[in-house]
Amino acid sequence: MRILISNDDSINAPGLKVLERIAKSFTDDVWIVAPEIEHSGAGHSLTLGRPLHIRHISEQRYAVDGTPTDCMQLALKRLLKNKKPDLMLSGVNYGGNLGEDVTYSGTIAAAMEATLLGVPSIALSQMVKSNQPVRWETAEQWAPGIIKKLLDIGWEKKVLMNLNFPNVMPDSVQGIAVVPQGMRHDNGEITKWVDPRGEEFYWIASGTRGEQTDIKGTDLVKITEDFITLTPLHIDFTHYKTLGSLQKAFKDDV
């Protein structure tokens, strides 16, 4: 079995080291292709305006001066083009990827790109809380069993798996909740500052959106109840109910 791993927190991120150990619990054939620097919030962005460079760090370990999406393009179309991996794992991200985070997340983007290129993919994220240690051991202990079960079950080609681990010790996890993606209230702030030259600049605050906890059974709710959340994400963004109504509305205009 060949496994490709990446992230959006950079080649030196502690979560990547955790993910490498998770991957090596399945196989010795683990390849790492990750960004040189952090690309949190980069989403599914692709570098088109400049060339990309691959830095060979050690055997089967590479850093790319681009986005997580760039990493997957170079890994699957160049480095591993003669023998593609059987599985791609992205993470373990520092912080959760829940609700609408999936549209911003470089962790999700790497898994999405690998999925588009034909490799079954799973994104893994570890929830964190301020002034508390990161519970990397929770992801490390629980992930292998979940991944094994997912591989045994299998899933459709245009679907990727999104796993989030609560910020509790492994033995405090309440279980695995297979749940839909939630949605937060948007109360994020943009702060205005003035630099030493008197020029205004702005900082988009992260992690300040309120959670919509009135809808039970979503990833946003279950993670607060100390469950691991598992959500299948579909790459086809088409809203078929609206598609059908539009087809009816425009049928005479074709």
**N-to-C CA span, the chain:** 50
Cα distance between residue 62 and residue 59, in whole Å: 8
Q: DSSP letters of 97-141?
A: --TTHHHH-HHHHHHHHHHHTT--EEEEEE---TTS---HHHHHH
The predicted-structure confidence for 147-156, as pLDDT tens digits, reads as follows 999 999 999 9
Residue 69: pLDDT above 70? yes
Cβ neighbourhood burial of 159 (10 Å; 0-12, 13-18, 19+): middle
What average pLDDT does the structure give for the chain? 93
Handedness of CA 29, 33, 36, 40 (dihedral sign): negative
By mean pLDDT, which of 68-82, 130-144, 156-170, 204-218 is the weakest?
A: 204-218
Q: Taking residues 29-54, report their average pLDDT.
A: 94
The model's confidence at residue 189, banded by pLDDT at 50, 70 and 90, is: confident
Q: How many helices (H) and strands (E) does the chain have?
A: 7, 11
Residue 133: pLDDT above 90? yes
- Report H helices in the chain: 14-24, 68-74, 101-104, 106-116, 136-153, 219-224, 240-249
Q: Taking residues 26-36, report their average pLDDT.
A: 98
Residue 131: pLDDT above 90? no
- pLDDT on residue 206: 63
Cα distance between residue 152 and residue 168, in whole Å: 27
Chain CA centroid to CA 76, Å? 18
Cα distance between residue 202 and residue 126, in whole Å: 28
By mean pLDDT, which of 98-112, 129-143, 155-169, 181-195 is the weakest?
A: 181-195
Q: State pTM to two decimals.
A: 0.92
Q: Mutual orientation of helices 14-24 and 136-153 as an angle, nearest 10°?
A: 40
Q: Taking residues 172-193, report their average pLDDT.
A: 87
Handedness of CA 224, 88, 160, 38 (dihedral sign): positive
State the number of CA atoms in the 13 A half-sphere of 153 facing the CB: 10
pLDDT over 70, % of the chain: 95
DSSP 82: T
Fold designation for 2-181+212-253: Stationary-phase Survival Protein Sure Homolog; Chain: A, (3.40.1210)
List the chain domain ranges.
Answer: 2-181+212-253
The predicted-structure confidence for 76-120, as pLDDT tens digits, reads as follows 999 999 999 999 999 999 999 999 999 999 999 999 999 999 999
What are the residues facing 61 on neighbouring strands?
32, 58
